[in-house]
Amino acid sequence: MKNSLKNILINLFIHKYAYPITTFMNAEELAAELIRFNTEVPPGNEEACAAFLRDYFLDLRLEECEVVLHRFAENRANLLVRVGPKGQAGLLLSGHIDVVPAGDHSLWENPPFEPKIVGDKLYGRGASDMKSAVAALVKAIENYKDKKLRRGIIFVATAGEEIGCDGLEALISDGKIKERDAMYGIIGEPTNLRVVRAHKGGTTFRITFHGKSAHSSRPELGINAIENASRFILEIAELRNRLKEIIDPDLGTTVISTTMINGGTKENVIPEKCQIIVDCRRIPLHSDRQIMAELNKIVDKIKNLEPSYNASIEIKFNYEALNIPKNHQLVLIAEEILGHKSEVAPYGTEGPIYQRIEIPTIILGPGKVENNIHGPNEYIEIKQIYDAINVYSEFIRRICI
Ligand SMILES: [Zn+2]
């Protein structure tokens, strides 16, 4: 069928009639349909996209299949699908359906939510991070539509990954996914189809220094919050050196930096408030609590010298580290399928949340940073979507068939 006619038919059937949609759609078309839903976070609005995937699964008419649209906030939902026999599943296949904001649309050659195939690439927000991977995971499951599964498959499309994983946390706290629900997990985040089994955790702290305002001609009458912040910032540089003493053989060391500062009200006023942001990338040996304790120690140390010193520390954002051992069965299977050694990544994922509920999870998906992830004109090479389908299908064959 000619492509344009095919597209018209797809749109007609999807958007106008409740008719099986799966018959018509190849992988890049499915990815494109997912991109069409604007799921920028905030606010998310992932429910329509999750509902589309629900309908797609229902149309597949899989035997032994349970499809749950999990609404956790207004217009916000995850999709959870269980295929195959009950009991612990063999594989959990997961991807997020939210995307980071498209930013200035004038910087895009095509509108970000009107996916377009140009040559061998598919363009649109989420093309690489990570709607194509979601399409590939679905297509891999579809490959086994008529096969009897020995172990089940769980498919999870999550909302809100880019803003702290609120979708997945809601799925778990509502008891939809439980401890050890699957033997192994795969998240299709873009790794250029490399096997990633570890990454650092991250914590962002907001520290507020409380001072006292006074005329700048009489600084002794006030407490200068910016000067107090600067003493703290110098100590952060010291702390960075101390943290280097503990080394993780895979992930290196914990790093910590002051990344933002905001304070003062007027040129001639001693500032009464100053706020800084401290960003910390943690190896598994350093918990967010430990780092918090280190920051509190700095406050106490300065306070001992200067009793009027007053600072409050809060956690703005936090995610845990992923650390699946090199010799874990899942890593060995992945290395065998992909033909290369597993790696570590510099960014965070939902992996540690699955690891927390005892579903050891690796990160493995199509797309790479060079594909303008989080920037304008994001794209994916269509071949990578098909390579991903083959890889995921092989995992299913080895673990679930
Ligand atoms: Zn992502």
Ligand 1 centroid to residue 167 C-alpha, Å: 13
| Active site annotation includes 161 | yes
Distance (Å, whole) CA 204 – CA 238: 18
Tell me, what's the pLDDT at 1?
47
* Catalytic residue (one of 28, 98, 272, 320): 98
* Catalytic residue (one of 161, 181, 248, 272): 161
Task: Specify the 3-state DSSP secondary structure of 201.
Answer: strand
Distance (Å, whole) CA 324 – CA 346: 15
Ligand 1 centroid to residue 188 C-alpha, Å: 8
- Using CA atoms, how far residue 251 sits from 199, 229, 286, 289, in Å, is 7, 30, 12, 19
Closest CA to 199 of 92, 40, 342, 341: 342
Ligand 1 centroid to residue 374 C-alpha, Å: 9
pLDDT (tens digit per residue) in 91-144: 999 999 999 999 999 999 999 999 999 999 999 999 999 999 999 999 999 999
Tell me, what's the pLDDT at 315?
96
User: What structural domains and CATH numbers belong to the chain?
Assistant: 3-199+322-400 (3.40.630.10), 201-319 (3.30.70.360)
Ligand 1 centroid to residue 119 C-alpha, Å: 24
- The residue to which tokens 């189809």 are assigned: 193
Ligand 1 centroid to residue 362 C-alpha, Å: 14
Ligand 1 centroid to residue 53 C-alpha, Å: 18
| Active site annotation includes 98 | yes
**How many C-beta atoms lie closer than 10 Å to residue 208's C-beta?**
17
Q: Low-confidence residues of the chain, pLDDT below 70?
A: 1-23
| 112 backbone dihedrals φ, ψ, rounded to 5° | -60, -25
Q: Tell me the pTM.
A: 0.85
Tokens representing 390 are: 């083959």
Q: Is the peptide bond before 249 cis (omega within 30 degrees of 0)?
A: no
Q: Cβ-count burial of 73 within 10 angstroms (0-12 exposed, 13-18 middle, 19+ buried)?
A: middle
Tell me, what's the pLDDT at 347?
86
Ligand 1 centroid to residue 13 C-alpha, Å: 30
Ligand 1 centroid to residue 99 C-alpha, Å: 7
The DSSP 8-state label assigned to residue 105 in this structure reads G
Ligand 1 centroid to residue 309 C-alpha, Å: 41
Tell me, what's the pLDDT at 296?
98
Ligand 1 centroid to residue 330 C-alpha, Å: 21
Beta-sheet strands, E only, within 74-135: 76-83, 89-96, 116-118, 121-123
Ligand 1 centroid to residue 318 C-alpha, Å: 16
Strand order of the β-sheet with 116-118 is: 116-118, 121-123, 379-381
Task: Specify the 3-state DSSP secondary structure of 270.
Answer: coil
